[in-house]
Structure 1
Amino acid sequence: MKLWSKSIPTIFNSLGAKSIISKTTENLRTDIRAMSTQIPTTQKAIRIHETGGLEVLRYEDIPVPEIQDHEVLIKNKYAGINFIESYFRTGLYPSQKPYTLGREAVGVIVSKGSKVQDFDVGDYISYLSASTFAQYTKFDPSIRAFKLPKESTDEKLKQYAALPVQGFTALTFINESYNVQKGDYILVHAAAGGVGLILTQLIKARGAHVIATASSDEKLKLAKENGAEFLINSKTEDIVKKVLEYTNGKGVASSFDGVGKDTFQISLDSLARKGTLVSFGNASGAVEPVPLTKLTPKNLKLLRPTLFNYIVEKEEWEFYSNQLRELVESGELNLRIEKTYPLSNYSQAAEDLEGRKTTGKLFLEIPQ
């Protein structure tokens, strides 16, 4: 025992162990100090303090959130823009004020809690969460998040930022709201929009026939390029008449309607016997209460689904996220990146989106 008690210090000293330990400890302290200086105490965000029009939007400083043991702190890079933000802003959907807008983003994890197992600091992730129109978002990554390939380009980051709301909405709806089958005739309203373009591609890939509506010939051309077989200009043509013409008087098996008030009755009238109306948006306003007897003459089904109730369980999220990632990486799903706005200019993005001036996907670039 004497031999070892004397030899160990001698060996350590000869190897310069004290110096190594000292340097390693100092490096660790330097890394920790560097990390702490990278996370500020305040951040820029888009918030509302009351409901209303675009005038209630505020670009302001708010505290960077503190995470719990099961959460990560994400420094956002791109945030996807969707109609759902307008629903919160106008009061159609309730929220606790002040409320930070945004439902999806891609970013890098800059801090994590002690109980987080599957994600590390430095991982880029795509995720579905509230409060993403901000430089930093705290988030529980145990569900509704997936890692991105380390070699992802800036363009690929934008594509992954488009998936959490619109990509998952389209894929879950054609499986669970109405299970699209080969040979079906399907009506897709606003087919040149973010969800519409993805729906059109996925429905076409199943061997079904897409009847697309859009408000201009330019938008219809885009829908056709993405797989639409039949085109209807909603500004100049009678949608129901054209649908019946394209289907030999039978109507469509399902209508995917994200427009809302202006197209709801049109969708019902366009359905075949035993058809299904999937009403999922309010771009033109909320649909007024409907008597159930409207469904009786053709034994119709009416659904008002929300994406979040299709991805409650981790297994559900993984099932659909794996499919979407494969579609993106293989290039089978073409995600049209329409325009990117700075976070500070979200009000202009909202005006463009709500004014039907856009096609494809809109993004906010978050200041770094």
Structure 2
Amino acid sequence: NVQGAYAEYQVVPAERLVPVPEGLDPKLAAAALLQGMTVHYLLKSTYPVAPGDQVLVHAGAGGVGHLLIQWARRLGATVYATASTPEKRRLCLEAGAHYALPYEGFAEAVKALSGGGVDVVYDGVGKDTFEGSLEALRPRGMLVLFGQSSGPVPPLDPQVLNRKGSLFLTRPTLHHYTASRKELLWRAGEVFRGVVEGWLKVRIGAEFPLEKAKEAHEALEGRRTTGKVLLIP
């Protein structure tokens, strides 16, 4: 949660540092920490997923989506994922998704497959998927809007949530879920444990030297990446 990744060295408050388990590759630790803790708070705190829940994950081939699928599956959920290309949908299935769907018509497909809608949608895409995400929920389901890679969501009349089934909508961020050192260590520790034990697999999609940060951003913005992108000092 400390700004300034585009540097070889950084001064960080000691209370915001977390120990890396012995034997864990520093690259894997760096790749897993931020997105892994995001997944942890989404699945364990914002909407605590339980066995039998039905979960929709958008952008399932991306860094957060890839981890969300694995962890939700481990918690006993039925996992639906969206992705933009057949190759990315294949990656979703390999990560453990039960169903991998294109974005076009995803709400109708999810409602049909789930028998009326999922319990929770984890949406990091935003504008392009928001309305469909609401449609894909069962009555009293929850839309967790944790990102907006396609742009910000337009203003919403809360009455829409009523009409669509007394839905819940939240817009969380990691900062508020790692407010104390105890919580930070809990989340980071469970992420690292999953990586070390081997059931949480982090996919490093690309590595760029720090001086080529511009090219890394262009690859991200052009949606030419899957998994985590690392900048190496």
TM range (shorter): over 0.9
> Corresponding residue for 1:141?
14
Equivalent positions of 1:171-320 (< 5 A) are 171-234=40-103, 237-248=104-115, 250-297=116-163, 298-320=165-187
Does the Cα contact within 8 Å between 2:21 and 2:192 map onto a contact in 1?
no
> Corresponding residue for 1:57?
none
User: Secondary structure of 1:171's partner?
Assistant: helix
Q: Distance in 2 between matches of 1:165 and 1:287?
A: 24
> Corresponding residue for 2:209?
342
Match of 2:198 among 296, 315, 331: 331
Q: Distance in 2 between matches of 1:159 and 1:289?
A: 38
Aligned residues between the structures: 232
More strand as a share of residues: 1
Deviation at residue 346 of structure 1 after TM alignment:
1.1
Structure 1 unmatched runs, 5+: 1-127
User: Secondary structure of 2:144's partner?
Assistant: strand
Equivalent positions of 1:346-365 (< 5 A) are 346-365=213-232
Deviation at residue 149 of structure 1 after TM alignment:
3.9
Deviation at residue 164 of structure 1 after TM alignment:
2.7
Does the Cα contact within 8 Å between 2:33 and 2:191 map onto a contact in 1?
no
Q: Distance in 2 between matches of 1:151 and 1:171?
A: 22
Structure 2 unmatched runs, 5+: none
> Corresponding residue for 1:129?
2
Deviation at residue 151 of structure 1 after TM alignment:
4.3
Does the Cα contact within 8 Å between 2:33 and 2:192 map onto a contact in 1?
no
Deviation at residue 241 of structure 1 after TM alignment:
1.3
Q: Distance in 2 between matches of 1:349 and 1:255?
A: 29
Deviation at residue 349 of structure 1 after TM alignment:
1.0
Instruction: Give the structure with higher Rg (CA).
Output: 1
Does the Cα contact within 8 Å between 1:214 and 1:220 map onto a contact in 2?
yes
Q: TM-score, normalised by structure 2?
A: 0.96
Deviation at residue 217 of structure 1 after TM alignment:
0.6
Query: What amino acid maps onto 1:307 in structure 2?
Result: L
Q: Distance in 2 between matches of 1:186 and 1:150?
A: 34
Deviation at residue 211 of structure 1 after TM alignment:
0.4
User: Secondary structure of 1:261's partner?
Assistant: coil
Q: Distance in 2 between matches of 1:173 and 1:134?
A: 29
Query: What amino acid maps onto 1:347 in structure 2?
Result: K
Q: TM-score, normalised by structure 1?
A: 0.62
Q: Distance in 2 between matches of 1:212 and 1:350?
A: 25
Query: What amino acid maps onto 1:147 in structure 2?
Result: P
Deviation at residue 150 of structure 1 after TM alignment:
4.8
Seq. identity, % = 38
Q: Distance in 2 between matches of 1:176 and 1:147?
A: 22
User: Secondary structure of 2:206's partner?
Assistant: strand
Q: Distance in 1 between matches of 2:36 and 2:78?
A: 20
Q: Distance in 2 between matches of 1:262 and 1:238?
A: 12
Deviation at residue 334 of structure 1 after TM alignment:
0.3
Indicate the larger mover: 352-361 or 205-214: 352-361
Hey, which bits of structure 1, 4+ residues long, moved more than 6 A? none
